[in-house]
């Protein structure tokens, strides 16, 4: 007899469905070009549903979603998880309330990451849309979105993210020449944060263009 799975397969199916539907919409906006981007959803305290590495994120099916533990190790599958799994699991490990992590490669995110890499962050201030971020209740506030240097060494990148999180709460970050990470308590909140960052970065790029 097969040993029972260490997670609820029905809950995995629910999480996978949420990822598939939402990511299809993000892909239609052009935010996941050329198999880029990766997405995850917490199943329970110790398990995460995450996209299989290298799959076309605009055409995901349940077969493209697998399970890892909070160390990023595959659970009951031969598939290879996203190359960036550690950047997802570090957030689930650190914050029990985080339920969803979304990573995209839109042109706006990528151009902004290049433009602001030198200063290490994008300063966002005075926008009504800042209220899209959990805990923010007024436009009269400011937020620094970190920009980290890109590297293929995920532990190095994860350590930089952790160092920032040690002294600053945040809902996302950019990686230079790469893309954006955003997260939240559930899919709806993570997606709201992702869309808010995309919009605000677009505003900052347009302001720079007009001020030239």
Ligand X SMILES: CSCCC(=O)C(=O)COP(=O)(O)O
The yes or no reply on residue 83 touching ligand X (CB under 6 A) is yes
State the binding string over 92-111 for ligand X (x if CB under 6 A, else -): -----------x--------
By CB atoms closer than 10 A (0-12, 13-18, 19+), residue 146 is: buried
CA distance linking residue 120 with residue 2, whole number of Å: 50
53 near ligand X, rule: CB under 6 A: yes
Separation CA 38–CA 163 (nearest Å) = 23
Choices 21-29, 61-69, 77-85, 117-125; region in contact with ligand X by CB under 6 A: 77-85
Q: For ligand X, how many residues bind (rule: CB under 6 A)? A: 12
* Of the candidate residues 7, 27, 38, 171, the single one contacting ligand X (CB under 6 A): 38
Whole-angstrom distance, CA of residue 98 vs CA of residue 14:
17
105 is in an annotated binding site: yes
Q: Chain centroid to CA 198: how far?
A: 12
Q: Which is nearer to ligand X, 5 or 83 (CB)?
A: 83
Residues binding ligand X (CB under 6 A): 34-38, 51, 53-54, 82-84, 103
- Binding region for Zn(2+): 103, 105
């Amino acid at each position: 007899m097969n040993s029972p799975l260490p997670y609820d397969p029905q809950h995995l199916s629910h999480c996978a469905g949420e990822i598939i539907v939402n990511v299809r919409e993000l892909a239609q906006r052009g935010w996941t070009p050329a198999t880029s981007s990766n997405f995850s959803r917490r199943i329970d305290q110790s398990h995460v549903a995450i996209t299989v590495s290298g799959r076309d994120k605009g055409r995901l099916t349940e077969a493209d979603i697998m399970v890892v533990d909070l160390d990023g190790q595959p659970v009951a599958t031969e598939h290879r998880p996203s190359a960036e799994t550690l950047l997802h699991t570090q957030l689930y490990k650190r914050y029990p309330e985080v339920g969803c992590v979304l990573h995209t490669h839109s042109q706006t995110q990528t151009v902004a990451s290049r433009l602001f890499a030198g200063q290490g962050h994008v300063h966002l201030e005075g926008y009504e849309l800042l209220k899209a971020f959990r805990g923010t209740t007024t436009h009269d506030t400011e937020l620094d979105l970190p920009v980290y240097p890109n590297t293929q060494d995920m532990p190095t990148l994860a350590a930089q993210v952790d160092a920032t999180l040690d002294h600053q709460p945040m809902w996302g970050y950019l990686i230079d020449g790469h893309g954006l990470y955003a997260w939240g308590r559930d899919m709806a909140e993570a997606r709201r944060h992702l869309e808010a960052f995309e919009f605000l970065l677009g505003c900052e790029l347009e302001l720079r263009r007009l001020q030239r």
